[in-house]
Structure 1
Amino acid sequence: MFGSRLPQKPAGAVSAVVTGAGSGIGRAFALEIARRGGAVLCSDIDETSAQATADEITASGGRAWATACDVSKLSAVQKLATQAESLLPEPVDLVINNAGIGVGGTPVGETPITDWKWTLGINLWGVIHGCHVFAPLLKKQGYGGIINVASTASYSAAPLMGPYNVSKAGALALSETLAAELAGTGVHVTALCPTLVKTNINANGRIVGKSSKLFDRLMDRFGMAPENVVRMTLDAHQRGDLYVMPQFDARMIWRTKRLFPRTYALGTGMINRFAAARLQ
């Protein structure tokens, strides 16, 4: 069961809603919450994958339900909140806005506008919708938490990842804003900013050209297991942390950019061109 440093519901285990729970980080969140004694509503745009996660939890003796949800649509997230109220045994006190996709490989000006809209619709508007719908509910009940899955891309601004960088930067800014607005209410906000996590984001996204090949190579060599990321994040959330940067490189990028912003931008561009040349 979860710790008690932050205000929690008066009694009982956590009741959580997880978006993008059909795979990757979202699935790992759902499984770990259930392992800690929580009840989980697993949502995903692919209801079959959400159901598979829920079935794995119930097969292990946990409590889970599944539903389809397209987080890019406000009406779908509002429906998700209604389903959570009817399905979960107690009021929601943890919302994890995780659903996301990856886009990259082309520079600004060449990236199709359709890719921009697709990425922002899920990665940014999905988080906006989740916070818009659930934050007032949590504030009214006086306890709970929101975890928004951002990325190191939210501040690293790597080349050829414009839509993804912008979407994650927005998710981080929203998390920081919401944390300030909810200070003292009993509702805590955490932003997860990992680097490489071993998920199917490349296979399910639109990362094209050399960037896709480089992404796969780096993932194989340096990717962290989602289970480890999730455990660190839930523990940090319980401590009241706003930022979670689970990997050393995420923390180093954060510090380097703030200390040497111009040098960081120039260096990032050079590293990207060097990596691309190696893939020739």
Structure 2
Amino acid sequence: MFGLNRPTDRSRRTHGARAVVTGAGSGIGRAFACEIAARGGRVVCADRDEQRADDTVALIERTYPGVAYAFRCDVTRHEDVAALARFADTLFDRPVDLVINNAGVGIGGKPVGRIGFDDWQWALDTNLWGVVHGCEIFAPRLRKAGRGGIINVSSAAGFAAAPTMAAYNVSKAGVLSLSETMSAELNGTGVAVTVLCPTFVQTNVARDGRITAESAQVADFLMRRSSHSPARIARTALDAHDRGQLYVVPQLDARAIWLLKRSFPAGYTFVLGLLKRLLPQNDSNTVDRPAVTDPTGV
């Protein structure tokens, strides 16, 4: 979807892959890991929460024994991601050929000026720097091998710019821009880049994030109404990566936003203003939970 700017490559690069997935402890990351195993691959399930990573491995092992491995990794730490790469290098019988930079956190509900620098740093450290670390460390390995690919999990928030979500929007816009840049840089090397931009998916990112209580209720409602499960999103993204697509915008609402913003920018600005009036205005009650590298879903 939205991959017309890349030449079509009908390879099966995600089948039998040697893969690394960050934020693999739940949600979209867990779905990616399970689907890679189902495609005959082997996968390192990395997560800041070691128990969650172990749980994903146990889930995979019930059907595909010996193909999944847990690794504790805090993607905000460059040295952790470097250790993840070394672990994968020694584990697999060939170089890693698929990297999925998925780890992310949710944040929202406050306008700029009330977010606070701590929350800005918290969001950017995981959502943007986590992906930067993954790309900086793994891209040279893939380029040297002359094959494989990178899937970066962004969000429709990366281009939608919804009110009261500035820190999240900025972090995901950075991932989108990074992916576009790398797609151009790696053109002709045999390494494909895909960026996934979903809207609401049935994950626990809102529950585990730093989101005001009112906004969390809205997010939970929209996630429950979503017809797109993490498994469906993961399959869609992997299939698109096989076809050499850069952009994956899997849901109808995300595609409508994408087209509206580019075709009718003035109309889109009007819609954003209307949305601001519909959103909860009380930002005094923030649900501030421990940071986890849970897959993004908005």
Fold in common (TM above 0.5): yes
Query: Which ranges of structure 1 fall in alignment gaps of 5 or more residues?
Result: none
> Is 1:179 aligned with 2:178?
no
Which residue of the partner structure matches residue 10 of structure 2?
Answer: 5
- CA contact under 8 A between 1:7 and 1:143: conserved in structure 2? no
Tell me the amino acid that sits aligned with residue 130 of structure 2.
G
Check 1:173–1:58 CA distance in 2 against 1; reply closer, same or farther (3 A cut): same
Q: How far off its partner does 1:210 sit?
A: 1.8
> Is 1:24 aligned with 2:27?
yes
> Is 1:39 aligned with 2:42?
yes
Distance in 1 between residues matched to 2:31 and 2:122, nearest whole Å: 24
Tell me the amino acid that sits aligned with residue 182 of structure 1.
L
1:125-182: CA deviation from partner (whole Å, max 9, x where unpaired): 0000000000000000100000000000000000000000000000000000000000
Q: How far off its partner does 1:59 sit?
A: 2.1
The 5 Å alignment of 1:241-280 reads: 241-276=245-280
- CA contact under 8 A between 1:47 and 1:68: conserved in structure 2? yes
Tell me the amino acid that sits aligned with residue 20 of structure 1.
G
The 5 Å alignment of 1:44-83 reads: 44-62=47-65, 63-83=67-87
- CA contact under 8 A between 1:40 and 1:88: conserved in structure 2? no
- CA contact under 8 A between 1:15 and 1:40: conserved in structure 2? yes
Deviates more, 1:57-66 or 1:30-39: 57-66
> Is 1:227 aligned with 2:231?
yes
Q: How many residues align?
A: 272
Which residue of the partner structure matches residue 203 of structure 1?
Answer: 207
Which residue of the partner structure matches residue 92 of structure 1?
Answer: 96
- Equivalent position SS for 1:276: coil
Q: How far off its partner does 1:255 sit?
A: 0.5
1:80-117: CA deviation from partner (whole Å, max 9, x where unpaired): 00000112233200000000000000000000211100
Q: Which has the higher helix share?
A: 1
1:224-247: CA deviation from partner (whole Å, max 9, x where unpaired): 200000111100000000000110
Amino-acid identity (%): 54
- CA contact under 8 A between 1:196 and 1:219: conserved in structure 2? yes
Distance in 2 between residues matched to 1:190 and 1:251, nearest whole Å: 16
Which residue of the partner structure matches residue 296 of structure 2?
Answer: none
- CA contact under 8 A between 1:39 and 1:89: conserved in structure 2? no
1:32-76: CA deviation from partner (whole Å, max 9, x where unpaired): 000110000000000111011112112212401001000011111
- CA contact under 8 A between 1:194 and 1:245: conserved in structure 2? yes
Match 1:124 to one of 117, 122, 128: 128
Check 1:67–1:88 CA distance in 2 against 1; reply closer, same or farther (3 A cut): same
Distance in 1 between residues matched to 2:162 and 2:268, nearest whole Å: 10
Distance in 2 between residues matched to 1:101 and 1:75, nearest whole Å: 20
1:182-240: CA deviation from partner (whole Å, max 9, x where unpaired): 00000000000000110010111011132111111111123520000011110000000
Which residue of the partner structure matches residue 18 of structure 2?
Answer: 15
Distance in 2 between residues matched to 1:7 and 1:35, nearest whole Å: 13
Tell me the amino acid that sits aligned with residue 274 of structure 2.
M
- CA contact under 8 A between 1:147 and 1:189: conserved in structure 2? yes
Query: Which ranges of structure 2 fall in alignment gaps of 5 or more residues?
Result: 1-8, 282-298
Superposed CA RMSD: 1.6
- Equivalent position SS for 1:146: strand
Higher relative contact order (CA 8 A, sep 6+): 2
Q: How far off its partner does 1:8 sit?
A: 4.8
Tell me the amino acid that sits aligned with residue 74 of structure 1.
H
Which residue of the partner structure matches residue 214 of structure 1?
Answer: 218
Query: Could you tell me the TM-score, scaled by structure 1's length?
Result: 0.94
